Structure 1
Amino acid sequence: MKKFVSVSDSVKWVGVVDQDMKKFHGEELSIPSGTTYNSYLIRDEKIALVDTVIHAFGEQWLELLKEEIDLNKIDYIIMNHNEPDHSGALVQLMKEIPDTPIYCTQMGKEIIEAYYGRSYNFNIVKTGDKLSLGKNEITFVEMKMLHWPDSMMSYLNGENILFSNDAFGQHYGANGLFNDMVDQNTLEYECLKYYACILTPFSKILEKKLEEVISLGLPIDVICPSHGVIWRDNPMQIVEKYSKWCRSYKEDVVVIAYDTMWESTKKMAESIADGIREVKPEYEIILTNSAKNSENDIVTDMFRASAILFGSSTINNGILPSMAALIEGVKGVNFQDKKVAAFGSYGWNGKSLAVLNEELSKTKMTLVNEGLKVKWNLNSATREECMVFGRDFAVKL
C-alpha cells in the first residue's frame, strides 16, 4: 500500500490507491485507470478522521493507520458519505474505538445502521453546523443526492480545505495523488466521465448546491475528494468545470452509436456520418460500436454531444442487446436538450426502428424525425438515402 502523504500542516491523506480495480458499482462502471479511496486525518487540538476506505483494504489500512496514530487519540470520525467504498472499513475501525463520536447526516446514520446492522455514537449534523477542533473548526454542508441522500461536504477553516467526498472526484488511481503530478489528459477525461456517468442525473440539484456553496464565501485552497487526485493547483478549476457541466452542457459533437450483425447498419452509420459532415464540417462526429466499446465511454461522448443517433439491426422482434443496454444507460443518466434519431437495417420484419423510436420517446431528448431503415445490404441508392438522412439531420442541429 502507498505510504500516507501530507496535504497541509494539519492534514494527511491516509487512503488507499487501487490501480487494479477496473470495474465499479458492481460491473456497471469501467475504470481503466483504477481508483483511490481517500481518507484524511486532521491533527489539531482535537483529531478527526474523515471517511474510511473500502472493506477489502480494511485490515491493511488499519495497520498503517495504527503506525500513523494511536487510534484512541482520534476524537471524532466524520463520515461525509456512507456508500460502502467509503464506509466499508468503518466497522473494523469501530471495533478498535467503539465509543468515538461519528459525525454524519441523519440519512448517513440510517445507511450505516442498515448496511452494517450496528449503531454507534452518532452526532447528526446539517448545513452550517460546526465542529471545533481547537485552532480550526469544521463546517458541514449537506449535499443531498450528490449522489446519495446522505452526502455532505466538510470544510476546514484556517487551512481552507474542502473535503468534498464524491463531488469533484474521479476514478484515477494515480500514485502521484495531486492534480499537478498526474497526466492531465487522463485527469480531464476521468473527471468528465465521472460527471457524465454518475452525476448527470443530479445536475439541477448540483447547480443549486454550487450556488449555495459559493454564497457561503468560503475561501478554498485545496479540494480533497474521496476518489482520485487532490486538487491543490488551482483547485477551483474543477468547480468551474462542474458549473459548466451542470447547465445542459454540449459541444459541436454528434455521436453515432450502432450495433450491427452483418455490417449493413455499420455502413448506414458511415454514410449518415458523411451526410452530416457535408452540412456541418466543423462538427466532431464520433462513430462507435456499442458492442465493442465501453458503455460508459460512449455515454461520456454523448454527454458532450449536441446530437445522437442510435442504430441497430433487427434481431427477432427487437434490437441488439448492446444497443438495448446503451439506451437503458442513457435513460438512466437522463440526458436532456439533445437531438436524437434512429436508424437500422433488417431482413424481413424491420422492427428495430420502431423499438428504437419507442425507447427514445421515453427520454427527455428531442426525437427529430421518424428515422431510417434499410432492407438487407446497402447499394448505391440506399447509400445515398443514408447520406440524405444525414444531411437532413444536420440541418436541424
Structure 2
Amino acid sequence: MARKITDKVTWVGKIDWELEEFHGHEFTTRKGSSYNSYLIRDEKTALIDTVWKPFDEEFVANLKREVDLSSIDYIIMNHNEIDHSGALPALMREIPDTPIYCTRKGEEIIRGHYHADWNFVNVKTGDRLSLGAAELIFIEAPMLHWPDTMFTYLTGENILFSNDGFGQHYATESLYNDAADQGELWAEAVKYYANILNPFSPMVARKLAEIQKLDLPLQLICPSHGVIWKDNPAQIVEAYAKWAAAYQENQVTLIYDSMWNATRRMAECIAEGIKEAAPETTVKLYNAAVDDKTEICTEVFKSKAILIGSSTVNNGYLYSIAGILEMIKGLKFKQKKAAAFGSYGWSGEAVKQLSEYLEKSGFALVNEGLRCPWQPDETKLEECRAYGREFAKSL
C-alpha cells in the first residue's frame, strides 16, 4: 500500500516480513527488511528505485493503482543490486521508453543484469534534473556500497534519497524512525553498517564530508531499506561519522569452536580472567558453529579486541572458524587487537595459523597465543584465567 510522505513524495515500496537471509546466506535478517521505492510528483513525475525481483509484478500492480505508468517521466536508479532494480524489467515492459537516470557504472550493471537496451541517461555529482518547482540533484557515492551507487537530493522538500546509505534490514509498519522501537532500530542500523558498509569506511567518511560541504538542508533521509529518518535525521549521519572512524567500544569478544569442549572451557576461563582484570569491560563469547554469524561480525565491529579459539583438526582449525575469519577479514576492521587460543591432541598447529591469519587481516597481535594439550585440568584452566588477565592489561 502506498503511503504519502509529503505533498510531493509517496512511498511505493514493499515490506518483507519473512526475509531471514540476504546476499545469499551471508547476512541474516531476523527482523526482515523493506525495499523502499519513492514516487515524486511535481510538473514532472519521477520514480526512485524499485524493489526486489520476487515482488516485481506486485510492485508494478500497486504502482498502477497509485499513478498512470505512462505519466512517469523519469526513473532514477540510485543503485542497481537486484534488491533495488529487480522490478525494473517488469516496469520497463509497461513503459519501455522511459529514461533511466543512473551513473555510468550503474548503466553497466543494469545491462549486465538484464541485457536490455533501455534509454539510459548517465549522471554525475552536481547534475540536476528539473521536475518543475523542485529539482533533483545527483551525488555520486561509489562504494557505498557498490561502484554504481549515488544519492539523489530533492530540493524544496529537502529530502536525501540515500539508497543503501543510512539503511537497516528492518521490517516495520512504523515507516519513520521516531515511531520505531529504538532498541531494535539502532541494533539493526549498527549491524547494517558493520556487515555492509564497514569495508568502505574511508569512502563513507569522505562522502559525509562532501555532503556537509554542499550545505544541503535535510528534512528527511529516505534510504532504500528500513525506516525513513524524520526525527532529527542528522543523528544517523553523526552515527555514520563515528562508525567510519575505526569504531570500537570497551568490549572484548571471544569467538571459538570446540570438538570436545576443551577449547570452550579455555574460552570461558580466559573471559573470567579478562573480567577480573578489567571489570568495566564488556566481554562476550560466541560459538562460531551455532551463533549467528552476522551478529558475531557486529560484535567484532564494536570490540577493541577479539580472541579466536579452535581445536586443531587435520593440522588446521575448524571450518566454522575458517568461515567467520573469512568474513571478518573481508570487513576490514581497523585498529583492533587480537590473539588466538585452542586445545589440541598431538600436533597443535591451529593457534599459530589463527595468529597468522588475524595479523594478515589487519589485527595487531597481543601475543603468540595460548595452547592447551587435550582436556585442560584445573592448573591449565587457571593458566587460561591468568592469560585473560594479562590480555586485559595489554589493552
For Structure 1 versus Structure 2, the TM-score category normalised by the shorter chain is: over 0.9
2:60 corresponds to: 62
Q: Please state whether the residue corresponding to 1:238 is helix, strand or coil.
A: helix
Q: Which moved more, 1:355-364 or 1:153-162?
A: 355-364
CA distance in 2, matches of 1:270, 1:96: 60
Q: Which moved more, 1:387-396 or 1:152-161?
A: 387-396
Tell me the CA shift for residue 236 of structure 1: 1.1
1:342 corresponds to: 340
Q: Which amino acid aligns with 1:236?
A: A
Could you give the per-residue CA deviations for residues 312-339 of structure 1, whole angstroms, max 9, x where no partner exists? 1111211111111010000000111001
2:213 corresponds to: 215
Where do 1:197-276 residues align within 5 Å? 197-276=195-274
CA distance in 1, matches of 2:311, 2:92: 55
Q: Which amino acid aligns with 2:59?
A: W
CA distance in 2, matches of 1:341, 1:362: 13
Tell me the CA shift for residue 49 of structure 1: 0.2
Q: Does 1:37 align with 2:66?
A: no
Q: Which amino acid aligns with 1:167?
A: G
The two structures have a TM-score, normalised by structure 2, of 0.99
**Aligned residue among 373, 384, 387 for 1:386:** 384
Q: Please state whether the residue corresponding to 1:336 is helix, strand or coil.
A: coil
Tell me the CA shift for residue 382 of structure 1: 0.4
Q: Which moved more, 1:178-187 or 1:69-78?
A: 178-187
**Aligned residue among 137, 158, 163 for 1:160:** 158
CA distance in 1, matches of 2:253, 2:144: 27
Q: Which amino acid aligns with 2:19?
A: M
1:187 corresponds to: 185
Tell me the CA shift for residue 262 of structure 1: 1.2
**Aligned residue among 13, 16, 21 for 1:15:** 13
Could you give the per-residue CA deviations for residues 47-84 of structure 1, whole angstroms, max 9, x where no partner exists? 00000111110001111100100000000000000000
Where do 1:96-107 residues align within 5 Å? 96-107=94-105
Tell me the CA shift for residue 177 of structure 1: 1.5
Task: Tell me the number of residue pairs that the alignment of Structure 1 and Structure 2 aligns.
Answer: 395
CA distance in 1, matches of 2:107, 2:201: 25
**Aligned residue among 77, 88, 91 for 2:89:** 91
Amino-acid identity (%): 54
Q: Please state whether the residue corresponding to 2:160 is helix, strand or coil.
A: strand
Q: Does 1:324 align with 2:322?
A: yes
Tell me the CA shift for residue 385 of structure 1: 1.0
Tell me the CA shift for residue 380 of structure 1: 1.6
**Aligned residue among 130, 135, 138 for 1:137:** 135
Tell me the CA shift for residue 364 of structure 1: 1.1
1:361 corresponds to: 359
Stretches of structure 1 that go unaligned for 5 or more consecutive residues are none
Q: Which amino acid aligns with 1:273?
A: A
Q: Please state whether the residue corresponding to 1:248 is helix, strand or coil.
A: coil
CA distance in 2, matches of 1:380, 1:92: 66
CA distance in 1, matches of 2:2, 2:179: 16
Could you give the per-residue CA deviations for residues 22-47 of structure 1, whole angstroms, max 9, x where no partner exists? 00001111001000011000000000
CA distance in 1, matches of 2:348, 2:118: 59
Tell me the CA shift for residue 180 of structure 1: 1.6
2:117 corresponds to: 119
The two structures have a TM-score, normalised by structure 1, of 0.99
CA distance in 2, matches of 1:288, 1:89: 38
1:150 corresponds to: 148
1:298 corresponds to: 296
CA distance in 1, matches of 2:280, 2:356: 31
Q: Which amino acid aligns with 2:318?
A: L
Tell me the CA shift for residue 361 of structure 1: 2.0
Stretches of structure 2 that go unaligned for 5 or more consecutive residues are none
Structure 1 residue runs of 4+, over 6 Å off?
A: none
